[in-house]
Chains A and B, each alone.
Chain A
C-alpha cells in the first residue's frame, strides 16, 4: 500500500509568489494533518481535517495560509503571498479513526521542502 504522497518534494520560490503544496493521504484514512517543521520550532500542527472537514486550524500562522480538502484523496496547503520566514519542511500526515482512538499514530509523507528567497 502506498504511503502518504506529497508534492513537490522541493520548492524554491521568491518572496511574494504563491506556493501550493499537495498531499494524497493513505486510502481509507479519514484524518489528514498538515505540519510545519523548522529547526527553531520543531514540528508544529497547522491544521487537521476529519472526513474532509477542517476541525482545527488554530495553528495556521496567518491569513496568508489556507488549506483545503476537496475530497478524501487530496488536500492542498497554499501560501499567498509567501515570505522568507515561511521556509520550512511541510509535512502531510494521515490517520484512521481506529488509530486516532488508540495509539494516535500518524503516518507522515516525506515532506515538501520550501525555500522562499
Chain B
C-alpha cells in the first residue's frame, strides 16, 4: 500500500459547483497536511496547510483532516474556471521530515 493515495481523476465540474478532493494515508506519524495547486506547465504552490486534525478555511477553500480515519479533504465552494489545475495532497511527520506527495488530481471547471 502506498503511503499516500489520491483519487486519480480527472474531475470535471460546472462553474459554481462544490468540489471535494480527497487523500488517504497509511502512516499514522503524519501530522502536517498540505494541499498544493499546480497550474499547467508550472510548479506546485502551497494552497492550504493544516496541523493535526480539524478544519481550516480560507475563502472558498476548506481543508479537513481526520486523523482517526487517516483521511484528508479539500473542499472548493463556488468553483471557478480559474480553479482548473492539478491538486496534490502532501503530508509529513515531525518538523524537518520529508514531504510525501499524492499523485495529484486534475480538476477542470467548465464555464
Contact = CB atoms under 8 A, between A and B. Distances in A.
A, B from the same assembly: yes
A100 B34 CA distance: 13
Contacts, number: 50
A93 B42 CA distance: 12
Contacts of A111: 41-43
B7 interface: no
Contacts of B42: 110-111
Interface stretch (A11-19, A37-45, A66-74, A76-84): A37-45
A47 to B, nearest CB: 11
Contact of A42 (B46, B95, B98, B102): B102
25 contacts: A4-B43, A41-B103, A42-B102, A42-B103, A43-B44, A43-B88, A45-B98, A91-B44, A100-B96, A103-B32, A103-B34, A103-B49, A104-B32, A104-B34, A104-B95, A104-B99, A106-B44, A106-B46, A108-B45, A109-B43, A110-B41, A110-B42, A111-B41, A111-B42, A111-B43
